[in-house]
Structures are given as structure tokens and as C-alpha cells.
Structure 1
Amino acid sequence: MNITVENSVSILNARWEGTNPEALIDNISIDSRSLQNSEHSLFFALSGPNNDAHHYIKDLIAIGVQNFVVTRIPDDCAAKANFLIVENTLVALQQFAAYYRGRFHFPIIGLTGSNGKTIVKEWLNFLLSPDYNVIRSPKSYNSQVGVPLSVVAINEKHNLGIFEAGISTVNEMDKLEKIIKPNIGVLTNIGSSHDEGFIDLEQKIQQKMQLFKDAAVLIYPKSSAIEKYINPNTKAFSWSFKEEDADVFVSKREISHQETVLVFQYKGSSYELKIPFVDKASVENAVSCLLVMLHFGYDVEVIQARMELLFPVEMRLEVKNGINNCTVIDDSYSSDYQSLKIALDVLESQNKFHKKTVILSDIFQSGFPNEQLYAKVAKLIVSNKINRVIGIGETISDFKEQFSNCITFKNTADFIANFEKLDFSNESILIKGARSFHFEEIVTLLEEKTHETVLEINLNAISYNLNFFKSKLQPKVKIMVMVKAFGYGNGGLEIAKLLEHHKVDYLGVAFADEGISLKNGGIKLPIMVLNPESTSFPAIIQYGLEPEIYSLKGLHAFLKIAKQKNLQHFPIHIKVDTGMHRLGFEENTVDELIATLKGNSTVKVQSILSHMATSDDVNHHEFALSQIRLFEKLSSKIIRELEINPIRHILNTSGISNFPDSQYDMVRLGIGLYGVSNDAEEQKELENVGTLKSIISQIRTIPAGDSVGYGRRFMAEKATKVATIPIGYADGIRRAWGNGVGFVTIKDQKAPILGSVCMDMLMVDVSEIDCLEGDDVIIFGESPSVSYMANQLQTIPYEILTSISQRVKRVFYR
């Protein structure tokens, strides 16, 4: 990068206070948790409604970071580092990226649209990389923060850039255009994503088109709605399946379930090419790639040969349970320097072991000479405290000596042949490889073998929902997140690791064994045990958990053990009953509670809490207010008489939204984290977290008069195509969901459940669905949602989520 702090002051028009203006900057950071932060990082302290990175500067200085872009210098940090003081750190990050982009003059492809941006970007990288050294956005880095982070990864060896830009409302694209400055524009599909951010479709098109205002050429699906916003100085290069006057007119025909032939008319000639897809979105994305290659002047023979090799793009990074108590982080479809940095951060955020292994293929398209590249990779490996590197590929094998504790193999087959000699146990394993290395075969070897039904957990959605509820909190209000009941069925430890990464204040579990499991998994956050039995008190103390005390009997029992162990100020949480009548000190026992605690130094009242019975029910609003009033009365009395200053909290998920004036010092977020709300409008704002998926095991057609399942509860009135799915009530699907009440989703179509749900299987009607054995089946997720299922079954979403059996494999992904 070769930029000094002094240069950066000028670039950002900042005010400088610091120790060394000549300090060299070689990378940009916005994440205080990344182990890749170093003395040569320039850290932008971004501030938002949910977090302020200025709070972490003191810790960053302690580990050696010396250069910061800030709006203010935190207390006790002056004269300890270089500070570039600006009005807005996000704007400064974008200014820095725009300046840096201006240092390079090779072609830049800018992509936007509602859908398909990342797919087209990855396919263009595949199609063009034999002839260009490509820099592209890692993963889906297309936001106001992601775009500048992508652009500052350019180096002098690159000669083609491919960057995507995503917006969700007005006045965002202009900022991204200044950073990307594309010479070549590609507009993909314009659909309904983020419609809520725009008045109408025309405004959305107009806003997205701002990315191309100075582009030399624009590739787009022909449409008068688009053409009215094309700069007259920009060459329009259009395609269409319907408009024969488009620059490239395309027709298509399916030749199998997996292949399509595209026939395209271009410059008076007709050509054919085959692509390995039949779905509408993939075909449209492929046509966008075709036009880019035509614009670059490729021979049709080359286009045909390369596009026939297009592949499904795996856009998510998955965290899976592995063999021998391992965690497997599957990023087995790409190997470039920028995405390696991202994957290593994910490895750290999900790591629950002391031992970390990286299985890494040769790295392509870094823009660096190999000597420099693998020196930089080795530095990343060291900074992320990786214990073992397994390199696969001839190039990485040549640089084996750059890494400590490294073993290499020439190819994947060589690794597999030696797999039994390698010890994988009780460790986190990042699998990071270029597609040509077929690392999915390594993932298959290392992942835990379970049946074909999986619950997929979207970690990005959890992060989004957490931030949604954080945005509702008043300043300085803490947040406890409930991870009891195996994280509401979603997986406790993995979610706890993510929440620790997001620096929540507390975790809540129901019983001691749940908290012990989290502590054994490496969780360091304070954990409150809501329903501790007195027999678990010794273990609670041993593992540093914090018990909720809700009765005089429990208090005396805990104080007895605490005294025996000579504890001092051990944190406890006092629960008062304000009307739920489940657990808690009632008003007539509060005086004795106070008398027992007064002068007692073995414990410390860390918090006082209560639980609301009707925070989600407008019909009982007054009762909820009466609970809050009683909580205020009782907690204030305890605080006054004991002369303490504990955390107070009474609000659960619904309470956060419905009683914002009663947030006190902390709130407890539960089901909302997992994407479920009792309020229909709020539900629209949350993202789905869990998708329960299976596959079609077998398809058969039965004649009229035949039955399906136990008790012959379904009788076919006509010939019926029946698919069997390997999931049943032993997996958590209630029998009441059968017999036509419920459905699954196959190929985006509803398939009604036929007859009774069996222990391990259920059968569905696929007479109107073009499907095959092995096709994916959605049991719940977007459709049907758990809320819909709960409503049909006259229960609550909690029960649906927590009923999913432990034999169902959990797969976590970003």
C-alpha cells in the first residue's frame, strides 16, 4: 500500500495528533476483534447505533496497533498512538478508498442489481482470470463498508477489477460510485429485494444506475425503464430474450434437467453455446457474462469452451460438526488472499479449541509474486495463531518452509491417500481451497456423519437480528441473550461464540449443565443460570457461573456453600415475583431477603430481575405496567436498604419493543434473536435464522384407491406422485402436522403432507412438482415459517424450534 500516516492526514483532510507521522500503513482495519491487526494497520473507528469502535482503541493500542482514524481521542489514549481526527469515520474510510482507487488505471467492472451480483462476479472471475490478474470483491462485500474494504485490496500487479455494489435505499450509490469508478458497468436482474427502501421501481432503477454515470459501456437487460437513465456518453450494450432489436438477442432451450443451450444473435451472425444450468436466474446471469466476454472481444469458440464449465457458486461459509469432536469451517470453493483473511476471522470467531488447523490449497490471483504472497500468508497464519498448516498444491509445497508445523501434499488425491496417518481431533479446522482442488472431498472426510436432514443456521441473520434489537435500546443499556434450550434448538455453543464475538454483556441459560457446557467450550462471557437447583451450586461456583436466586431456601443453601468455600462477593442475581407467579421473591418475603443479605460479604447482588407475563399481549397492557411498577418498588427497596448498585432488568424480547421506557440497565433478548416476533410488523424486519432441510429419498406413483402411511389415513382419489422425506416425529416434526394440515416446500412449491407423520419419515404429494430423488426439501424456514407452523398447530414458535432433535445435524453458515 505504501502510504504513511502523514499522507493519510492529507487524504482525509484530518487533524493529526500522535507520535510518528512517518509510520507506514500497509492494511486497513475496522474490526477490533481481528487477530490481523498490527502496528502497520490503519484502524477506522466506525460508530453506529449499536456499537462504537472508539471503546476498543485502548485494547488495540495494548496489542500494538498504532494508527487510528477517530472522531475523538478516547480517555487515557492521547500521546500513545497516531490519531487522525475526522468528523465521520465511515466517510473517511470511503474517502481513503476513493483516493486509493484513483492510483490505478486498469479496467474496472462495476456490478449492481437486485440479484445475481455475486454470482456474475465469481463467474466473470473464472471466465477472465486465464488472461487477467483479477482483483474482486471478496464474498458479498458490496455495502457502504464492504466496497471500500474491497477496493483497498488492489495492488500493482492487478490489471482488472470486478466490484459489486449493493444499496438498500436512496443516496447510497453515489458514494459507492466515487469509490469503484467503473469503466464497464453490468446491471443484473432488477427485482423486489429491498423494495422498502424506494418509493417505486423507477426510483430503484434510477438510484442503481448512478453507479454507471461515467462508465464507458453498460451491459444490461434491454428495457426502456433502464435506457432513460443511461448517460448519452455511455455505450449501451443490451441483451434480451424478447426484444429482437437488442444488441444480443438470445433464445434458449433445455436439453436436460441440468443443461441449457443458448442461441444468440450478434452482429448479424447466430451462435450457440451450452451452459450447465436450467433455472431462470442462472441463465440470465450467464447471459450477462456472455456480453462481458463479447465486449472484451473473445472468440466465440473460447466463450463456448469456458462457459460450458461454469459452476454453482457457493456464497456461504459453513461451520459444521466434524469427526473426533472437531469443528469444520468449510470454505472449500475459493482460494484468494482477501477471502483467506475473512475466513481466518471466522475461524477465530467460531473457534472453541486451543488447537487450530488450516488446510490450504495454492492461492490464485493475489496480484503478488509467489515469494511475496506466501510470506504474507505466513504472516497471516502467525497473527491468527494457527497451530498447523496442511498445504495442498505444487506451489504452496515449494514454499513449505515459510510456515512452522507445515505438511504439504502435491494434490488432493495425495492428501486423501494419507488421511488415515493425519490426526484430527479436538480442534477447529479451516478448509480453504480453490475450486479446482475439489476440497469438498476433504470436507466429506472430516465432517460428522449424520442423516440427510440438517438444520441450517444463518449466522449473518443472527447478527442482523441482534443489531435490530440493539438499535431499540437506549444508550448504555446492556443486553443479555438467552441461549438456553440449546440456543432455542439452534445450537448453543456456536451461537454463544458468535454473541461473544459481538461483545454482548451476558448470556442466559436455564440450568447449570448448559452453562458448564459453554464454559467448557471456551466461552468467557458471564453466564447467568436462571433455574439453578441447589444440588448444582458447587458446580456453578466451580465453573464461575452466576446463579439466579429466587427463594429464601435457595439463598440460605447458596450462602452456606459460599461460606464453606470462603467466597467473597460471588455474583448472584435476585429474582422478584411481580405477577408471573413462577419463580421469585414475593413482596412479603423481601424484608427477610434484605435482612439475610445485609452485611453479608460472601455474595454480591449483581442484578435484580423479574419476568413479565404479558409483554406481547396488548389485551393485558395494564397488567404488564403493574408488573413494571411493582418491580420498580421492590427493586428500589432492595437497592436502598442494602446500599448497592446492581443491574436491573425485567424486559424480554417483546418487552424491548413494547415497553421502551422500562429498559432499566439491561434487557434479555430471547426468541427475537432467532428471527421470531409476536408482532406482525416487527416480524417483517427480522431475518429468518433456521432452515430445516432434508431431501427426497424416493418417489413413487400410486393409483387411485391406494393409501399412504399408517392407518391408511390418506386414500388417493386419483393417481398420485408421492415423495418420501427422511424426517419424522423423532426429529421433532409433530404428528399433528400430517394428514394435510402441513406442507413442505420443494422447488419453491408447496407439497402437502399425506397421511400420518412417521417416526423417521413423512410422505408428501408432488404430483404437480417437477422433482427428482435427491432434490432438496424445506421443512421450515421462509415457507413454511415456524410462526405459520405454530399457528396451524395452535402452539408457539418456541415449541417448534426447541423440539428439533439433537440427531438433526446443525450446519452454521455465513
Structure 2
Amino acid sequence: MTTKQLHQEFLAGSGICTDTRNIVENCFFIALKGANFNGNTFADEAVKKGAYRVVIDDEAFKNEKTILVKDTLTALQELAAFHRKHLKLPILSLTGSNGKTTTKELINAVLSKKYKTIATQGNLNNHIGVPLTLLSMTSETEMGIVEMGANHLHEIENLCQIAQPDYGYITNFGKAHLEGFGSLEGVVKGKSELYTHLKDHDKTVFVNGAETKQLELTKTMNRVVFNETIIQLMDASNEVKVKFKNTEIQSKLVGLYNFNNIAAAIAIGDYFNVPEEQIKTAIEGYIPQNNRSQRLEKAGHKILLDAYNANPTSMMAALENFKQAEGNRKILILGDMFEMGSEAEKEHQHIVDFLEQNPFGKAYLVGSNFNKTKTKASHIKTFESFDDFKKQFKAKDFKNCFFLIKGSRGMALERVLNLL
């Protein structure tokens, strides 16, 4: 079956599905495989639950509603690329080391004030998530917003081949996924694959004027440079407040590092002619969730919860922000930064060295990487695991404190909230 024929079958159904736990009536089910599962084995179950068609790549699981292809993942990606060309709608893609998901959510909040948008759900931004995002778009969609994640070279390049973006934005270049990229230079090269695609197809890129490296990389491209007209009005302990033209915008996002995320959403909204007041409404109405830059209060404590992810760049940004924030009795609970590869020891020690030289609060460092670091500072304590930390953490020892909680997703440091 050709991709065009497969697309006709897809359009006859009611949306895409890859998990039998989430099947809706008349959906188009694609049986993907992974290291620990084989979607082909769920073909009969998918039909029983109401799937219109089931795409498989193992003829042993054929039934009256299956479509046999050579490889289901390839079929998914080719179908998404075909669907994207079929719809002919403008696509904005974004990537970067930090702030991708928050920026994507802000951009969607702003653009949806004027357009019917579809954006990446959560952080489904990989070789499966990007195709699923594209296939969730319909003839009614007026603009697509596609987040692209990567932890090695050529990944963004491949995602661009599928999404064919018309516009692009890179949040920043930071020390993330060093295990896959090898170095910061590797990160720059990998993320810049978005720039390469946009330049090769004569498309447009949005560039933060404060990012010197990005200004250099995009100087021969069609670009929209922003930041000059957006002014920061805040201190480090409060929600970010900005002024755009004649409008002051009070967000619910905490942290100096979120200024660039907000500025990007404002600039992109302005470029696409979203009215100033609607931009203000969208930014002010966005509430951070999923452990990203959340400001909480519990048991008399103020808490900055940023436990969704961490890498050396985002960790240092959070620490610099917390250092400047107003408030006494500061407590830092930091978890290991993952996917650092051979740089893990150096990068974790760098964080410890910073905390030694800047004793603005007591620091509790959790995880095997932090536990290997060296320090003689009395205000820094390290723990091999969360369980070790939990055994020694006594809520009664803390009163009216200001907590920063940050670590990689695998550390699940939001569990600290239960200890309070």
C-alpha cells in the first residue's frame, strides 16, 4: 500500500492511536514496537475496542482490519509527512536545551487567541511524538506548533524532514544531553540542524537578540530578531513581569530564566498579528504545571518547584536566580543531572564549587553523582539516594523556609513535598 493510500485510510478514521489503553471508536491504530513491547500483539484487542484500521508489520497478526506494512514506525513517519503536506498549513518548530516545553505552551497560548492551533502535547517531541502531533492536525487547524527534542546528532534533521517547518525558534544552547552530543559544540551543531533546514528551504527563524551565538549563526537567514522592545520588570523572587510596547504583563512564571521564554511568545504573537491585549491575556492566564517553574506554598514554606528536568545550564540559571531572590532561610534540595556521560563528575563538582563559594542557603544534594563530589562546607550535605535523604530529613527542623527543589526527571524530587 502506498503512503497516499494509507493516508486515505487514515482520513476515513477518527484520529491516530498507538496505545490500546487510549483507543477511541473508529481510530486509526498503528502497532509500534519498542525494547519491551510489540504492538503487533495488540492487533486483535485494538479491533475489539473499536479501531477502524490497524497497521501492523508482522503478518502473523493479520485480521480483517489490519494493513500490513514493512515497518510501522517508518509508516507512521511517512504518513505524518504526507499529512503535513496535504494540509499545507504553517508550522512553527522549536527546539533548544532548556525551556522548550514552557515556551511552546506560551506560544500556543498566545497564537490560539487568534488562530485554531494544534501544539505538541506535553513533551511528546521525539521521532514518535512529532508524527503524532502532525497527525492530530486537521483541515480546521490554522497553525501547528511542533516541539522537537534531541539527544544526539541528526535527530532534529530527521524531525525537520517530517514536519517541514516554515518557522523556527531555538530557545538556547546549553549543557544538556552531553552523553549523546559529546560536548557543548555538539549540542550547538545538533540543535542548529533546525537552522540548516530553514535556510535550505528559505524559511524564517525567530532569534533572541540576547543570544550572541544564534545571531551569528542566523546572520544570512530570513530572521526576526526580538527582545529590544520587551523590558523585564521584576525581581528574582517574584513572578516575571514584562513591558511590551505600552502594555505591562504579569505572568505566573517564576525565575529570571523564564523572561526569554515569555519574550519569545510575545514576539511571535506580535509577528502573527495577535492583538496586544490578547497577548497580555494569554501570558497572564498561563499557569505552569508538571513541576516546571511552579511557585507553591506548603506548611508555611515558600517553594520554587522546578523538578521536571535539569542540566548544568538550567541548574546554574536556577541557582543564580535563587541567590538573587529575596528571603531568608533559603534551602536548596538538588538532584542529580542525568545524561551527562563522561562530563558528569566535572559538572556536578562545578555545582558544588559554586555552592561553596556562594553560601546563600543550606544545600541538600541528592543522588549518586552529587554524592561523589568533594566539599568541606558545613552548609552542604550529600546523599547517595532519595531514600537516604528521606531518612535524615525532618520537617520539624524547618520553619518558614524558602525552598528551591530542582533535579532531573528521574530523581522525582517533587516527592520532597510529601516530606513537608
Report the TM-score, using the length of structure 1 for normalisation.
Answer: 0.36
Asked if 1 retains the 8 angstrom alpha-carbon contact of 2:117 and 2:145, the reply is yes
Structure 1 CA distance, aligned partners of 2:233 and 2:142? 36
Sort the Cα spacing of 1:22 and 1:151 in 2 relative to 1 into closer, same or farther, 3 A.
Answer: closer
Structure 2 CA distance, aligned partners of 1:150 and 1:309? 26
- Measure how far apart 1:284 and its partner are: 0.9
* Greater Rg by CA: 1
Aligned to 1:291: 267
Structure 1 CA distance, aligned partners of 2:129 and 2:152? 16
- In the alignment, which of 23, 41, 45 is matched to residue 55 of structure 1? 41
Sort the Cα spacing of 1:190 and 1:310 in 2 relative to 1 into closer, same or farther, 3 A.
Answer: farther
1:54 aligned counterpart, secondary structure:
helix
- Measure how far apart 1:130 and its partner are: 2.4
Sort the Cα spacing of 1:215 and 1:144 in 2 relative to 1 into closer, same or farther, 3 A.
Answer: farther
2:258 aligned counterpart, secondary structure:
helix
**1:25 maps to 2:5:** no
**Structure 1, residues 205-239: CA drift from partner, whole Å, max 9, x if none?**
3332333523632112244533555494x421123
Asked if 1 retains the 8 angstrom alpha-carbon contact of 2:118 and 2:137, the reply is yes
Amino acid across the alignment from 2:138: N
1:229-244 aligned within 5 A: 229-230=217-218, 232=220, 234-239=221-226
- In the alignment, which of 400, 403, 407 is matched to residue 776 of structure 1? 403
Aligned to 1:69: 55
Amino acid across the alignment from 2:76: L
Aligned to 1:103: 86
- In the alignment, which of 119, 137, 162 is matched to residue 120 of structure 2? 137
- Measure how far apart 1:758 and its partner are: 9.6
Sort the Cα spacing of 1:61 and 1:127 in 2 relative to 1 into closer, same or farther, 3 A.
Answer: closer
- Measure how far apart 1:263 and its partner are: 5.9
Amino acid across the alignment from 1:29: C
Structure 2 CA distance, aligned partners of 1:278 and 1:65? 43
Structure 2 CA distance, aligned partners of 1:257 and 1:774? 13
Structure 2 CA distance, aligned partners of 1:314 and 1:59? 34
Structure 1 CA distance, aligned partners of 2:27 and 2:193? 32
- Measure how far apart 1:142 and its partner are: 1.0
Aligned to 2:397: 762
Structure 1 CA distance, aligned partners of 2:393 and 2:114? 56
Sort the Cα spacing of 1:280 and 1:101 in 2 relative to 1 into closer, same or farther, 3 A.
Answer: same
Aligned to 2:386: none
Asked if 2 retains the 8 angstrom alpha-carbon contact of 1:205 and 1:226, the reply is no
Sort the Cα spacing of 1:60 and 1:132 in 2 relative to 1 into closer, same or farther, 3 A.
Answer: closer
- Measure how far apart 1:96 and its partner are: 0.7
2:260 aligned counterpart, secondary structure:
helix
Sort the Cα spacing of 1:298 and 1:759 in 2 relative to 1 into closer, same or farther, 3 A.
Answer: closer
Structure 1 CA distance, aligned partners of 2:177 and 2:222? 28
Amino acid across the alignment from 1:258: N
Aligned to 2:248: 273
| Structure whose residues are more often helix by fraction | 2
1:236 aligned counterpart, secondary structure:
strand
Sort the Cα spacing of 1:85 and 1:113 in 2 relative to 1 into closer, same or farther, 3 A.
Answer: same
- Measure how far apart 1:173 and its partner are: 1.5
User: How many residues end up aligned between the 2 structures?
Assistant: 343
Asked if 2 retains the 8 angstrom alpha-carbon contact of 1:186 and 1:220, the reply is yes
Amino acid across the alignment from 1:236: R
Structure 2 CA distance, aligned partners of 1:302 and 1:286? 14
Aligned to 2:353: none
**Structure 1, residues 281-331: CA drift from partner, whole Å, max 9, x if none?**
21010111121123123555654x4366254421369xxxxxxxxxxxxxx
**1:175 maps to 2:158:** yes
Structure 2 CA distance, aligned partners of 1:203 and 1:48? 27
Amino acid across the alignment from 2:402: D
Aligned to 2:65: 81
- Measure how far apart 1:109 and its partner are: 1.8
Report the TM-score, using the length of structure 2 for normalisation.
Answer: 0.65
Over aligned residues, Cα RMSD in angstroms? 4.8
Sort the Cα spacing of 1:255 and 1:162 in 2 relative to 1 into closer, same or farther, 3 A.
Answer: same
Sort the Cα spacing of 1:249 and 1:202 in 2 relative to 1 into closer, same or farther, 3 A.
Answer: farther
Asked if 1 retains the 8 angstrom alpha-carbon contact of 2:240 and 2:250, the reply is yes
**Structure 1, residues 550-595: CA drift from partner, whole Å, max 9, x if none?**
xxxxxxxxxxxxxxxxxxxxxxxxxxxxxxxxxxxxxxxxxxxxxx
- In the alignment, which of 286, 298, 309 is matched to residue 284 of structure 2? 309
Structure 2 CA distance, aligned partners of 1:210 and 1:30? 28
1:350-749 aligned within 5 A: 740=378, 743=381
Aligned to 1:42: 28
Sort the Cα spacing of 1:64 and 1:257 in 2 relative to 1 into closer, same or farther, 3 A.
Answer: closer
**Structure 1, residues 188-213: CA drift from partner, whole Å, max 9, x if none?**
12212212222433443333233352
- In the alignment, which of 140, 161, 174 is matched to residue 191 of structure 1? 174
Structure 2 CA distance, aligned partners of 1:459 and 1:722? 22
Sort the Cα spacing of 1:809 and 1:253 in 2 relative to 1 into closer, same or farther, 3 A.
Answer: closer
**Structure 1, residues 636-687: CA drift from partner, whole Å, max 9, x if none?**
xxxxxxxxxxxxxxxxxxxxxxxxxxxxxxxxxxxxxxx9x9xx979x7xxx
Aligned to 2:238: 258
Amino acid across the alignment from 2:271: H
Sort the Cα spacing of 1:231 and 1:105 in 2 relative to 1 into closer, same or farther, 3 A.
Answer: farther
Asked if 2 retains the 8 angstrom alpha-carbon contact of 1:259 and 1:274, the reply is no
Asked if 2 retains the 8 angstrom alpha-carbon contact of 1:107 and 1:159, the reply is yes
Structure 1 CA distance, aligned partners of 2:285 and 2:11? 45
Asked if 1 retains the 8 angstrom alpha-carbon contact of 2:176 and 2:187, the reply is no
1:280 aligned counterpart, secondary structure:
coil
Asked if 2 retains the 8 angstrom alpha-carbon contact of 1:134 and 1:161, the reply is yes
Sort the Cα spacing of 1:296 and 1:94 in 2 relative to 1 into closer, same or farther, 3 A.
Answer: same
Structure 2 CA distance, aligned partners of 1:157 and 1:30? 23
1:103 aligned counterpart, secondary structure:
helix
- Measure how far apart 1:163 and its partner are: 1.6
Structure 2 CA distance, aligned partners of 1:58 and 1:219? 47
Structure 2 CA distance, aligned partners of 1:777 and 1:743? 15
Structure 1 CA distance, aligned partners of 2:175 and 2:361? 33
2:267 aligned counterpart, secondary structure:
helix
Aligned to 2:208: 221
Sort the Cα spacing of 1:102 and 1:763 in 2 relative to 1 into closer, same or farther, 3 A.
Answer: same
Amino acid across the alignment from 2:206: I
- Measure how far apart 1:810 and its partner are: 8.4
Amino acid across the alignment from 1:82: T
1:254 aligned counterpart, secondary structure:
coil
- Measure how far apart 1:261 and its partner are: 5.2
Amino acid across the alignment from 1:71: D
Structure 1 CA distance, aligned partners of 2:242 and 2:45? 57
Amino acid across the alignment from 2:99: G
Sort the Cα spacing of 1:810 and 1:60 in 2 relative to 1 into closer, same or farther, 3 A.
Answer: farther
- Measure how far apart 1:152 and its partner are: 1.0
Asked if 2 retains the 8 angstrom alpha-carbon contact of 1:450 and 1:809, the reply is no
2:172 aligned counterpart, secondary structure:
coil
Sort the Cα spacing of 1:744 and 1:260 in 2 relative to 1 into closer, same or farther, 3 A.
Answer: farther
Percent identity reads 21
Structure 1 stretches of 5 or more lacking a match? 1-8, 15-20, 241-247, 265-269, 318-332, 334-439, 441-448, 461-674, 685-719, 724-738, 746-756, 765-772, 787-800
Aligned to 1:10: 2
- Measure how far apart 1:176 and its partner are: 1.6
Sort the Cα spacing of 1:135 and 1:741 in 2 relative to 1 into closer, same or farther, 3 A.
Answer: closer
Sort the Cα spacing of 1:139 and 1:99 in 2 relative to 1 into closer, same or farther, 3 A.
Answer: same
